[in-house]
Amino acid sequence: MFAPIFSLLCDLFFQLYEIKPISFPIVRVADETSSLLHEAISSDTALLRLWACRDWNILAEQSTERRSVIFSVSQPGNHPHNWNNVLSAILPQCLHFIALLKGETNASKAESKTIAAPQSPPSYDSFTSPVRMRSMALASPSSKEMDSTSLPKSSLQDKIQSTMQEAVENLKRKPIISFFWGELPDAKRRQTFAKAEPIILLIEGLSHFVAASFVEDKYGVVQKDLPEILCMLLDLQAAVEQRGPSSGAITKRTEAFTSSPTDVQLKHRLKRAIKSSIYRIVVRFQLHILNVPLPPTQKRMLEQYLEFLVG
């Protein structure tokens, strides 16, 4: 009787503890054993990494005092170690997410081309040794003609097995069969966008931090990395827009009678987060953003945001 109630309470307490903000230190002080912010962001523990991403998002948007610690430079030397540590923890995760999106897109295209292209049977001569070729050339024409009954038993079994395997693979490509036995066409897309929650928090926090640097960055520690940050955001936008909609009539029919899955919601949130992050930076820097050195493709994408803003 009490088991379901206890399980429900445990689940509620876990969810409450999961969404509770946790503040990570930026600089290690004496006798400090907890993970620093950049260490937690790049942690292998998913829950710790999510907490750190949320802390970074809150820090970048709300905490002027903690932002000043990241904007500071070391003395002597004037090195932005705090900012470099945080950026080196954020960028690899975003770039890895972009690589997943682009890799899945290329893989799906390559797979479709492979399926569409007719497969020619392998040439028997390509597996024949030179001695065998010479003996065949010297043999009489009647010896070249081989009846199927004269084939060895093992070769005949291999041929039958290969034919059956090819028939099974062709059957698996049928829409109905692939729905039950194969991987759905949008399975990889769902797996990728299901991991978008930390990326959303990271890029939103990064845009807030870059926007705040326009006034608070006295030493220019963020300005030197602004081209790399903008390229990452624009490349992420291009990678997300390359993703096609959910394919398969059965999948669409199933989603029509159910609420949007978590990965679909995260995909839409990611799109909004990318656009709002780029707009946030463009609004803050205005025409000065055109002075940032960018490749031609990213330059044109950024100019579209500025043209829409200026009108």
Domain hosting residue 254, numbered range: 17-70+85-110+184-310
Q: Is the pLDDT of residue 137 over 50?
A: no
- What confidence score (pLDDT) does residue 210 get? 96
Average pLDDT over residues 282-305: 91
Does the residue 269 lie in any domain? yes
Average pLDDT over residues 2-19: 58
CA distance 9 to 255: 31
Contact 286, 302 (CB under 8 A): no
In this predicted structure, which of 73-77, 184-188, 193-197 has the lowest mean pLDDT? Answer: 184-188
Does the residue 227 lie in any domain? yes
Q: Which helix (H) or strand (E) holds 18?
A: helix 2-19
- What confidence score (pLDDT) does residue 112 get? 38
Please, which pLDDT band fits residue 26 given cuts at 50, 70 and 90? Answer: very high
Mean pLDDT rounded to a whole number for the chain: 76
Does the residue 143 lie in any domain? no
The tally of domains found in the chain comes to: 1
- What confidence score (pLDDT) does residue 110 get? 39
From residue 303, give the alpha-carbon distance in Å to each of 63, 202, 232: 31, 24, 16
Q: Using alpha carbons, select from 50, 7, 62, 52 the residue that is nearest to residue 25.
A: 52
Does the residue 132 lie in any domain? no
Q: Is the pLDDT of residue 127 over 50?
A: no
Question: For residue 195, how many other CB atoms are within 10 A of its CB?
Answer: 15
Higher pLDDT, 176 or 137: 176
The pTM assigned to this predicted structure is 0.68
Does the residue 286 lie in any domain? yes
Assign 3-class secondary structure to 62-118.
HCHHHHHHHHCCCCCCCCCHHHHHHHHHHHHHHHHHHHHHHHHHHHHHHHHHHHHCC
- What confidence score (pLDDT) does residue 77 get? 84
Higher pLDDT, 147 or 23: 23
Q: Is the pLDDT of residue 308 over 80?
A: no
Does the residue 168 lie in any domain? no
Average pLDDT over residues 104-123: 40
Q: What is the pLDDT of residues 166-183, one digit of tens each?
A: 887 777 666 666 656 555
- What confidence score (pLDDT) does residue 70 get? 95
Q: What is the pLDDT of residues 69-93, one digit of tens each?
A: 999 998 888 899 999 999 999 999 9
Q: Is the pLDDT of residue 278 over 60?
A: yes
- What confidence score (pLDDT) does residue 232 get? 96
Percent of the chain with pLDDT over 70: 65
Please, which pLDDT band fits residue 283 given cuts at 50, 70 and 90? Answer: very high
Peptide bond just before 295 cis, omega within 30 deg: no
Average pLDDT over residues 203-225: 94
Q: Which helix (H) or strand (E) holds 179?
A: helix 175-181
In this predicted structure, which of 130-134, 169-173, 249-253 has the lowest mean pLDDT? Answer: 130-134
Q: What is the pLDDT of residues 42-70, one digit of tens each?
A: 999 888 899 899 999 999 999 999 999 99
Does the residue 102 lie in any domain? yes
Does the residue 78 lie in any domain? no
From residue 268, give the alpha-carbon distance in Å to each of 193, 234, 239, 263, 283: 10, 16, 14, 9, 22
- What confidence score (pLDDT) does residue 72 get? 93
Structure tokens at 176: 């109905």
